[in-house]
Chains A and B, each alone.
Chain A
Amino acid sequence: AVTTIDTQPPPRYSSSSSIIMWYLLLLVGLASAAITDPKSRRTEYHVKSQNLHLDEILEELRELEEEFDERDLEEDTKEVRMLEARISNLEAEHDPDHDHAHCEEHEAECGGDVPECVSELLFCDGVDDCNHGEDEDDDRCDPEIVHVGSSFSGIATWGACENFHPHSAVVTITAAEQNEYYPSFVRVKGILSFEEDEHTHKIKTFQLRGLYSFARHELKMGPDHGEKGHYGVKCDFNLGDNDHADCHIVLSDSRDECAHFRADRY
């Protein structure tokens, strides 16, 4: 019961409208209560604050990553391989028990953890001859290393034979054939060319032929049939991959070294 100060009975027409007004108020109250339901507002608030936490974490993570990237030196596996190869080469030269680890002529190292020598003729012939089959290793027996068109070049430093200044020398493979009955070697033909004068840019070229030995990772070429040239080339692929070699230009008859170049495939 609503007590009104007004003692006069309220006019009838207003009763309905006042009821309506009350209803209205009630409904509006309900509606507003529904809108501003404290529970849902709390949820929203929680979600917001959690999102802010996440933002903060993400930002911290980004900062850490940035710091890490500044210090990050990617381990270059290729570089590591080359380092290992250089150490191996030194070990072979330096080994105090040379006589035990070093192979006879026409033999080659299997290259596993346990030193072992196997005849050069048994590498890449499809039969395991090393104790752990290193002689048939796919990487080792990949004839791609001297595929036709392969070119190896570097700056040749002449120590004997000719009085040339250092200039680029190029060895290019023009033919390669692997005989199925003689699979340990690839027969190759190639061209050796080098500049002999930096002013005239005169270039000497020599037709060569020879063999690539899987066992030794070694390319040896001498003058082709009927060629008058007296130069040959010996390239050692002992630098850890198939794209770098240690090459020498030699006199084909005496095998004396004339020039040396570090060759890269290009």
Chain B
Amino acid sequence: SEFAIRQADTMKSLRLLLVALAVVTAVLADQPSKKDSKKDSVDKLLERTGEITHELYAFEAKLDARLDPETIQRAGSLKHRLEEIEDPTCDDHEHQCGGDDPQCVNNLLVCDGHKDCRNGEDEDDCTVPVKAGDTFDGEVVFDNCIKSDPEHITFTVDSVSTAAFFTGFPVVNVHFEAETEDDDEEREASVPARGFYSFAEHAFHISSHDNMYGLDFYGEFDGHDFDRFVGNFIRVSSDEPCARFIFHREEDEDDDDDDDDDS
């Protein structure tokens, strides 16, 4: 019987041994797969992170499309055209604060460093939209007073200076250039002139200097698009526009010159 017990014992221990071995091999076999599954789960995590990042970017792009400054500027320009058609809401020498709460303030108070509009609009945007060196190319609309009958006139800003005590009207020095083709010779005329920029009207007032042939120049931005303005030459004697050019900002020289200029 002892033998039987011993047998049973041995059998038991052998069986246990087998089980233990099985467990160990299972665990050992499990080791690499465990490593794999670890790698898998981390990979999945990275993949998910990538997907969510992608979604976030897509959402951000949707938001940016709403805030696109170019679209806002185009809408503003369209609004300006409407306002031009409507009757003026303020007197000649007044500025419309705009917004939901219309209010007129004198042009002299715009950008003087002191809020005069209830909504503060008159002090919102007081950076001169041009700097020294900026060049605009003007294309003729009609012209009854410029001697050489040019198709194009170039408007170049030479300097902009703001007086500390009169900030609403920075002084600008500019010069106009025109190429003219006579039958036999090409001539280039350059005329320096000076005047001021008015924040209230988004416009240049260039005064009739001796060398401006008795012409004033009034160049008006629409207040939203500062790459284009309408320039009128005005006969001082009659106060009538006698020539009009549409001016477009020329890209910097060092930029890629890929605008379709057919000069």
A interface residue numbers (CB < 8 A to B): 13-14, 16-17, 20-21, 23-24, 27-28, 30-31, 34-35, 40, 43-44, 47, 50-51, 54, 57-58, 61, 64-65, 68, 75, 80, 83-84, 87, 90-91, 94, 97, 100-101, 113-116, 131-132
Secondary structure dominating the interface of A: helix
Cβ-neighbour of B38 out of A14, A34, A40, A116 (below 8 A): A40
Q: How far does the alpha carbon of A20 sit from the alpha carbon of B13 in the complex, in Å? A: 7
Specify the chain B residue showing the minimal Cβ separation from A73: B66
State whether A31 touches B27 (Cβ < 8 A).
yes
Among the 9-residue stretches B41-49, B161-169, B203-211, the one with 4 or more Cβ atoms under 8 Å from chain A is: B41-49
Are A31 and B24 touching (Cβ within 8 A)?
A: yes
Partner of B45, one of A21, A47, A58, A114: A47
Smallest beta-carbon distance B46→chain A, Å? 10
**From B21, which residue of chain A is reached at the shortest CB distance?**
A27
| Residues of chain B whose beta carbon lies under 8 Å from any beta carbon of chain A | 6, 9-10, 12-14, 16-17, 20-21, 23-24, 26-28, 30-31, 34, 38, 41-42, 45, 48-49, 52, 55-56, 59, 62-63, 71, 78, 81-82, 84-85, 139-142, 228, 241, 244, 246, 248, 262
- The answer to whether A47 and B24 have CB atoms under 8 Å apart is no
CB contact under 8 A between A131 and B62, given known A13-B9, A24-B16: no
Among candidates B23, B34, B49, residue contacting A31 with C-beta atoms closer than 8 Å:
B23
> Which A residues touch B141, using CB under 8 A?
100-101, 114-116
**A17 contacts B23, CB within 8 Å?**
no
CA distance A173 to B78 in the complex (A): 35
The minimal Cβ–Cβ distance linking A67 to chain B, given in whole angstroms, is 11
Contacts of A50 in B (CB 8 A): 45
Which of A27, A64, A65, A90 lies in contact with B20, CB distance below 8 A? A27
Chain B residues near A16 (CB-CB < 8 A): 10, 13
Q: A17-B9, A43-B38 are in contact. List 18 more A-B contacts (CB 8 A).
A: A13-B9, A16-B13, A17-B10, A20-B13, A24-B13, A24-B17, A27-B20, A27-B23, A30-B24, A30-B27, A31-B20, A31-B23, A44-B38, A50-B45, A54-B45, A113-B228, A114-B246, A115-B141
Q: Give the residues in chain B near A34, CB-CB below 8 Å.
A: 27-28, 30-31
